[in-house]
């Protein structure tokens, strides 16, 4: 499907605010791709589609996951919105014809991250957090600057802040969110944080 058509389809299901976020993620992902020698087109597409299942209600996310035999973890069953990455990747494939595994993984893991992420996965995870319309997270000015200096250190900082945010709210933490933090903590200490 043509890019302009994808943009229009996404616009038609998202609220104005979410659509602005989506476009923010696409453009920041593009800029990060330019900085880190990743393909800007892939980054743009992954950004555009990363929240393509975010407008769906919990029951719908669970129903889609069941219909397409997507594995649903205990944590996702309790907090079905965590499935919007996985289901988003399915939509990217089935509705928008995206076959690129790296783009699909970037969509799948954009909320929790995962150990050993690809460059594109890191870019989408980070762009989602720093895009210009985001305003809630602490340390954003620092993290925004960091993002253009060191991908792994930024990833570590974002997972650390996300964990403390979830703990402060007494939200349940998905094991993958924790694993991502632990992996990048080791990674950064071990290799000094260069990507
Ligand atoms: O979809 P977006 O809002 O653009 O961003 P996102 O997909 O990164 O989702 C962010 C939300 O997900 C944020 O409120 C924190 C939450 N989240 C991230 N990891 C976990 C989590 N929520 C729970 N309950 N457990 C997690 O491990
Ligand atoms: Fe999301
Ligand atoms: Fe998002």
Query: Residues 1-36: pLDDT tens digits?
Result: 889 999 999 999 999 999 999 999 999 999 999 999
Which pLDDT score is estimated for 194?
A: 57
Q: Where are the beta strands (DSSP E) in the chain?
A: none
In the chain the first and final C-alpha atoms are separated, in Å, by 33
Residue 193 Cα, ligand 3 centroid: separation in angstroms?
25
What string of DSSP letters covers 5-54? HHHHHHHHHS-HHHHHHHHHHHHHHHHHHHHTT--HHHHHHHHHHTTTTT
* Ligand 1: nearest atom to the Cα of 112: 19
* Ligand 1: nearest atom to the Cα of 21: 4
Total of domains in the chain: 1
- This prediction has a pTM of 0.96
Whether pLDDT at 86 is above 70: yes
- Inside any domain, residue 40: yes
Q: Note the pLDDT tens digit of each residue in 106-130.
A: 999 999 999 999 999 999 999 999 9
- Inside any domain, residue 19: yes
Q: Is the CB of 166 under 6 A from ligand 1?
A: yes
Tokens of 23: 């476009």
- Inside any domain, residue 81: yes
Q: Note the pLDDT tens digit of each residue in 134-153.
A: 988 889 999 999 999 999 99
CATH number at residue 49: 1.10.3210.10
Domain region containing 103: 3-136
- Inside any domain, residue 171: no
What is the average pLDDT score of the chain? Answer: 96
The DSSP 8-state label assigned to residue 131 in this structure reads: S
- Inside any domain, residue 180: no
Q: Is the CB of 76 under 6 A from ligand 1?
A: no
- Inside any domain, residue 22: yes
Q: Is the CB of 131 under 6 A from ligand 1?
A: no
Q: Note the pLDDT tens digit of each residue in 146-182.
A: 999 999 999 999 999 999 999 999 999 999 999 999 9
- Inside any domain, residue 187: no
- Inside any domain, residue 156: no
């Amino acid at each position: 499907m043509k890019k302009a058509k994808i943009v229009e389809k996404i616009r038609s299901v998202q609220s104005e605010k979410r659509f602005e976020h989506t476009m923010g993620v696409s453009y920041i992902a593009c800029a990060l791709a330019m900085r880190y020698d990743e393909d800007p087109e892939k980054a743009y597409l992954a950004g555009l589609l990363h929240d393509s299942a975010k407008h769906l209600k919990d029951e719908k996310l669970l129903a889609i996951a069941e219909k397409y035999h997507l594995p649903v973890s205990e944590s996702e069953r309790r907090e079905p919105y965590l499935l919007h990455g996985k289901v988003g990747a399915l939509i990217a494939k089935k509705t928008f014809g995206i076959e690129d595994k790296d783009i699909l993984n970037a969509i799948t893991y954009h909320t929790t991250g995962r150990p050993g992420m690809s460059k594109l996965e890191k870019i989408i995870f980070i762009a989602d957090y720093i895009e210009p319309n985001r305003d809630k997270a602490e340390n954003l000015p620092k993290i925004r600057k960091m993002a253009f200096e060191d991908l792994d250190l930024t990833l570590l900082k974002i997972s650390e802040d996300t964990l403390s945010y979830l703990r402060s709210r007494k939200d349940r933490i998905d094991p993958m969110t924790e694993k991502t933090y632990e992996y990048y903590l080791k990674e950064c200490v071990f290799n000094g944080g260069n990507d």
